[in-house]
Every structure is written in structure tokens, then in C-alpha cells.
Amino acid sequence: MLVGVPKEIKIHEYRVGLVPSSVRELVHHGHDVIVETNSGTGIGLEDADYQAAGARIVPDAKTVFAEAEMVVKVKEPQAAEVAMLREGQVLFTYLHLAADKELTRGMVESGCTGIAYETVTGQFGGLPLLAPMSEVAGRMSVQAGARCLEKEAGGRGVLLGGVAGTNAARMAMGMEARVTVVDKSLRRLAELDTQFGPTLNTIFATVDAIENHVLNADLVIGAVLVPGAAAPKLVTREMVKKMRTGAVLVDISIDQGGCFETSKPTTHDKPTYVVDGVVHYCVANMPGGVARTSTFALNNATLPFTMALADKGWRQALTDDVYLRQGLNVHAGQVNYKAVADDLGYELVAAETVLGL
């Protein structure tokens, strides 16, 4: 298979879909790899490193999209990239379609096969290709929130659930903050109680509990996830109006539309804005701020799936692996993931139907 890696073009996005060691693995299995020039220079991976691993360097993204049978990226395709997708081409990357009608429309119209990192499941549960970036974002969220607060660590915070929330809690407690985690999963809350003991306050999620803790918080970190679907709006505009002036909201869920009603995507270039005196940090590619660490962590998780897609072809790979099959979001003008179809009003054509299972 001919695998292509374009340079990421989202603002201040320096991660890259494949590192040289991943390229070498693909080449070792008999595949050809093309990499857009300077794709990895932002994190110290030079064209020469890719060439030494067996890749062919090409001058631009147009060449990558024109030649590659499978394109491997990090972030969802931007408008210019969507225009280059074609029928029969496989795109393996984060997609977050439920939060983006225009992107979904563009991918459907392209006829490509879109396999999303964030909806691939794991043998032991969870979302193994999303988890590494959730861990990074969780840790970064506390650093970002502390910078926005511009005060000594040790203030009061509230964290909203999940893998990212757990890592945020660990970081915040290390800064001697008073931390509360609000989650609707009793099992998850019990795990956190066992892991952190009395230093962490755990609360079952109800509308009343969320409102009470948000209004009394200096820093609120939203880390809510419904796999493949738009994030629920757990903090309303009315709650934000009642928050303390100078309080901070960090929305890790922004890739899926955000879990605060007042959230809108921002960039590393302009990461914050203020609504009703409350600072909002909603950077949509937060792990891109530590791009080298994030790239290698992501490749460690995605490479086995990339290899399966290349070695077997996407149809056989998805037929053989029910967990990878959950990554199929769009194919040949159809939507294949239920949460995306439900949120955006498309007819669902299940992956099993596509594969004839």
C-alpha cells in the first residue's frame, strides 16, 4: 500500500501522523511511504530522518493526497485538505465529526473512507487511540488554567470526569489545590476514591451538584466524553454568569463541541477569551502544545492499527477486528457511526452492512 503523510496545517499544530520509526515499520512490511517535506521539522524530525527510514519526500500536500491510497494524519482535515480527498482513499486520523457539520458534509461528498482514531475501541474497553492525547490534555489543562488564574496554586477547583479529568486531578493535587471530580459513573468515582483517597473530593453528577461546585470554583476543567458524539452542555450560560469574576473555564471537550454553553474553539495563537468576566481556554488541539511528546505517544497507540490497515487493506482489517471497525465513520458518501448520524441527521449505514457481515 502507498501511505501518505501530509504536514499538519492547523494553526500551531506541529504533530505528525507518522514518525520515522513508524515509517520504517511500514517499509519493512513492503509498503511505500511518502511524506510531505518539513512535516516533522517542528518537533525535530527532519526530512533526512524520514528518508533514512525509507520514505520518499514530496514537495506538497497535493502530491500526498493525489498519490496515497491511505493518508495518515493527526488532526481532522482542514477545508483545503477535504477538497483533495477522493473516492476510494482511506483517511486515518482524528475526525470529531459530530461537532462539525461542514467537515462531515465535505467528507461525505468526497466519497473517501474516514476511520477516526477517537472511536476505535479497545479489547479491554476504553478508547485506546484517544487516551494518550486525553492524558496529555488533562495534564496541560491544569497548567493552562493556572496561567489563566495568575495566582498562587492552592485555590479551589472542580474537574469533570474521564481519562483527561483523572490526569487533571493528579496534576492539580500536586499543586496543592482542593480538587473535586464530578462524574456520573459510580464505578469511576469509586476507582478515583481508591486511587487518591481523602485528598480528592468525588461527587456524583447531577444538575444541582454541577451548578453548586461550578459556582464556587476558581478553575473548572471540562473533560466530558460521549464517544463519537457531540459533548453535552453541562455548564449553562446562566451558570457562567453567576461564576466569580476572574474564574477560569478550560474545555478539554472542545474537539467534540465543548461541554460549556459559552465554549468556542480557540487556537494556541489566541487561546483565551472572556465571557461575563470568566476566562475561557478552549484550544482545540491542546496536546499540540507539547507536540513532540504527543506525536510519539500517539504513534505508539496508532501504529498497530495503521499496520493492520496497510497489511490487510481496510475492508479485511475492519472485518477481522471489531474494535478497529468502530473507527469507521464515513465511507462512499455514507455515515457509518451512530452518534455522528444521530447528531447530524444522517441515515446510518452500519459498518457491518458496508462490510457485508
Pick the CATH number of 2-119+291-355 from 3.40.50.720, 1.20.59.10, 3.30.30.60, 3.70.10.10: 3.40.50.720
- CATH superfamily membership of 131-284: NAD(P)-binding Rossmann-like Domain (3.40.50.720)
* Same fold across 2-119+291-355 and 131-284: yes
Q: 163: pLDDT confidence band, cut at 50, 70 and 90? A: low
Query: For residues 110 and 333, what is the distance between their CA atoms, to the nearest angstrom?
Result: 7
Q: Which of 100, 183, 251, 255 is catalytic?
A: 255
Q: Are 182 and 162 in contact (CB under 8 A)?
A: no
Q: Which of 96, 213, 280, 331 is catalytic?
A: 96
User: For position 177, what pLDDT does the model report?
Assistant: 76
- Extract the C-alpha cell encoding 35: 511524506
Query: For residues 9 and 340, what is the distance between their CA atoms, to the nearest angstrom?
Result: 24
User: For position 148, what pLDDT does the model report?
Assistant: 81
pLDDT tens sequence across 79-130: 999 999 999 999 999 999 999 999 999 999 999 999 999 999 998 888 999 9
Residue 319, burial from CB neighbour count under 10 angstroms (0-12, 13-18, 19+): middle
Q: Are 31 and 60 in contact (CB under 8 A)?
A: no
pLDDT tens sequence across 9-46: 998 999 999 999 999 999 999 999 999 999 999 999 99
Amino acid at 94: Y
Query: For residues 19 and 21, what is the distance between their CA atoms, to the nearest angstrom?
Result: 6
Q: How many CB atoms lie within 10 A of CB 54?
A: 16
In the DSSP assignment, the letter for residue 125 is: S
Bridge partners (DSSP) listed for residue 202: 181
Asked if 331 is an active-site residue, the reply is no
Asked if 255 is an active-site residue, the reply is yes
* 207 SS3 class: helix
Per domain, the residue ranges of the chain are: 2-119+291-355, 131-284
Dihedrals phi, psi of 237, to nearest 5 degrees: -60, -35
pTM for this prediction: 0.88
Please provide the DSSP assignment of 269-329 as one string: SS-EEEETTEEEE-BTTGGGGGHHHHHHHHHHHHHHHHHHHHHH-HHHHHHH-HHHHTTEE
Q: How many CB atoms lie within 10 A of CB 345?
A: 8
